């Protein structure tokens, strides 16, 4: 793969391109555009922006990703989660009273997100996303879905509600203003949501978003519902966005930096998760660092064309894949279709009710509440469920960025705590074999008098060495004369661990206990030798199998019946 193909993977995808592939990509691209146009407008409204900016963000960024992305199905554009984060970050600075400055700061945020993602790709930092565990993302997503959904109540009810990112505040304000609800607006909202839910269940491939958008606009136009208090989108400017440099204000950059970091990581996490899922299904690989580069460049360039941060979304990607997307050309077709819409079709959106856009948002995001994940984690991992629950509560009560930071911190603390107490098993020989197992799990396993065999199931580092020292001392009884350590599960040791091993050897020498090591890995062996610990143990006490060490320690005849585990 040459450098150009590595940075523009579409060139490689076109190596065997033919008319049939283009037809499939074209159908997928147009189908995705039909879904994206109303979604992009709805999500821009969610972000606190004019709906047209959602379409601006769905042109050049999509084309760039189509060229540079390694996923052949990923549909990039505005998504609910990122839109909420934009509203949280930009809204805290400028509020909703200055739409021009609000849009300028959203573009600045897009530039910052892109620069961060591009920089991460250059530094090969795609692995950082691993610190965002799936339970944390599930908790964050579930809470954000509630915040996003309830934030649309003002459009669903047709009343003015104060902006807030706390669900309880939104609900209290909604209850207070319930008597002022515009019943026509509420009716449009409920009809739109019912239509979207029904079509998703019974006709999932039908362009349900286009139907409710067209139906809502026609109803307002034909019945004059805007004269009855139904809020509409109104004038949507035609034409493509003019290139403009985002306002590079130091104070704004500093204020937006936490939000930019959150969007850069969360957006990439959402995108790469979706991309990998569809890559597995279609039997090809995605490159995490190249994905970072593609998203980074898409956001950087999009920032100069009045956009706001974009990433890959699941629902549109699923539609793109089901419609037959085979290469990044599908994204180019989608971007082209939206460009045509901006040039010629924006007058059609004049009578579009904002209640319809709110209904699209609510039905989309409430499906993100991870109830199935709660059931799964309850069965397989209560600590992960606790991390998910903590993130969920923190996001609802403290805020968006704070919630995910709490979740990441909780996951890291749990990891440190759990690895600071590594699993240590006392081993015994299964009758008639040379296999050694944990005596707690295999009561029939027999220990050898005078010999204690143990297995440590973790790398050794500064946080778990104190626990290791205590656990070894507790495992050795008064009659022990030999200690056999199964080292196969010890992948690495740090300086503190080597020092602690030296202290354990001192304690064993004081009690005249001989130490044997079995199955030592190469890097661990090298570290022990560099610390002069192998000299103290003795090279003749380092063997491959536990049963060999036990037989030699106890003086029994070595029976080579197979490997110990």
Q: Calculate the alpha carbon distances from 400 to 98, 148, 313 in Å.
A: 23, 11, 19
pLDDT confidence of residue 543: 94
Residue 342 · residue 59 · CB < 8 Å: yes
Q: Which helix (H) or strand (E) holds 257?
A: helix 250-282
Residue 453 pairs in a beta bridge with 427, 484
Q: Which parts of the chain have pLDDT scores under 50? A: 557-565
| Phi, psi (deg, nearest 5) at residue 437 | -130, 165
Q: What is the pLDDT of residue 269?
A: 82
Output the DSSP codes for 347-384.
Answer: GGGTT-BHHHHHHHHHHHHGGG--HHHHHHHHHH-HHH
CA distance 91 to 97: 10
The predicted pLDDT at position 558 comes to: 43
d(CA 471, CA 465): 10
What are 313's strand-pairing partners? 75
pLDDT at residue 50 in the model? 92
**CA 559 to chain CA mean position, Å:** 51
Q: Tokens for 339, please give them.
A: 């460009």
Could you count the other beta carbons within 10 Å of the beta carbon of residue 287? 18
Residues 6+ apart with CB under 8 A from 152: 46, 358, 359, 361, 362
User: What was the pLDDT predicted at 129?
Assistant: 66
Q: Which residue, among 354, 344, 366, 337, has the nearest Cα to 41 in the 3D structure?
A: 354
pLDDT of residue 424: 92
| Amino acid 556: pLDDT | 65
Q: Which residue, 209, 170, 207, is CA-closest to 192?
A: 209
**CA–CA dist 177, 44 (Å, integer):** 25
Domains of the chain: 18-372 (no CATH), 424-554 (3.30.750.24)
């Amino acid at each position: 793969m040459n450098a150009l193909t590595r940075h523009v993977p579409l060139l490689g995808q076109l190596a065997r391109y033919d008319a049939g592939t283009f037809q499939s990509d074209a159908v997928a691209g147009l189908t995705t555009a039909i879904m994206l146009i109303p979604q992009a407008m709805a999500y821009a409204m969610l972000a606190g922006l004019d709906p047209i900016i959602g379409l601006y963000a769905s042109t050049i960024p999509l084309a760039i990703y189509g060229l540079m992305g390694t996923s052949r199905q990923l549909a990039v554009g505005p998504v609910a989660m990122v839109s909420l984060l934009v509203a949280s970050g930009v809204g805290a600075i400028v509020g909703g009273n200055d739409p021009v400055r609000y849009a300028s700061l959203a573009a600045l945020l897009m530039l910052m997100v892109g620069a961060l993602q591009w920089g991460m790709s250059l530094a090969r930092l795609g692995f950082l996303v691993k610190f965002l565990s799936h339970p944390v993302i599930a908790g964050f997503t579930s809470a954000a879905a509630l915040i996003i959904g309830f934030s649309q109540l003002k459009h669903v009810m047709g009343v003015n509600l104060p902006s807030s990112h706390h669900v309880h505040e939104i609900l209290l304000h909604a209850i207070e203003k319930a008597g002022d609800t515009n019943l026509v607006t509420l009716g449009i909202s409920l009809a739109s949501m019912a239509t979207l839910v029904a079509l998703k269940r019974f006709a999932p491939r039908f362009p349900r978003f286009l139907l409710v958008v067209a139906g809502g606009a026609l109803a307002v136009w034909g019945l004059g519902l805007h004269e009855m208090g139904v809020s509409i989108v109104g004038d949507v400017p035609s034409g493509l966005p003019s290139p403009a440099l985002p306002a590079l204000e130091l104070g704004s950059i500093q204020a937006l930096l936490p939000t930019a970091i959150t969007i850069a990581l969360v957006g990439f996490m959402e995108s790469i998760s979706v991309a990998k899922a569809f890559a597995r299904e279609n039997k090809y690989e995605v490159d995490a660092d190249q994905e970072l580069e593609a998203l980074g460049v898409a956001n950087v360039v999009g920032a100069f064309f009045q956009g706001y941060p974009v990433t890959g979304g699941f629902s549109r990607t699923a539609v793109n894949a089901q419609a037959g997307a085979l290469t990044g050309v599908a994204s180019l077709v989608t971007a082209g279709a939206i460009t045509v819409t901006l040039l010629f079709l924006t007058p059609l959106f004049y009578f579009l009710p904002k209640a319809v856009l709110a209904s699209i948002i609510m039905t989309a995001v409430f499906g993100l509440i991870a109830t199935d994940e709660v059931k799964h984690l309850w069965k397989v991992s209560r600590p992960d469920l606790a991390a998910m629950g903590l993130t969920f509560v923190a996001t609802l009560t403290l805020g968006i960025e704070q919630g995910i930071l709490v979740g990441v911190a909780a996951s890291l603390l749990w990891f440190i705590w759990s690895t600071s107490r590594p699993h240590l098993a006392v081993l015994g020989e299964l009758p008639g074999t040379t296999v050694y197992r944990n005596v707690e799990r295999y009561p029939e396993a027999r220990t050898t008098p005078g010999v204690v065999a143990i297995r440590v199931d973790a790398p050794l580092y500064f946080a778990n060495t104190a626990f290791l020292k205590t656990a070894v001392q507790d495992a050795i009884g008064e009659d022990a004369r030999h200690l056999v350590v199964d080292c196969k599960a010890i992948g690495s040791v740090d300086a503190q661990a080597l020092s602690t091993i030296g202290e354990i050897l001192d304690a064993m020498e004081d009690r005249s206990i001989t130490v044997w090591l079995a199955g030592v890995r190469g890097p661990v062996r090298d570290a022990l030798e560099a610390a002069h610990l192998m000299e103290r143990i003795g090279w003749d006490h380092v063997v491959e199998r536990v049963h060999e060490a036990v037989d030699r320690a106890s003086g029994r005849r070595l029976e080579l019946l197979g490997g110990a585990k």
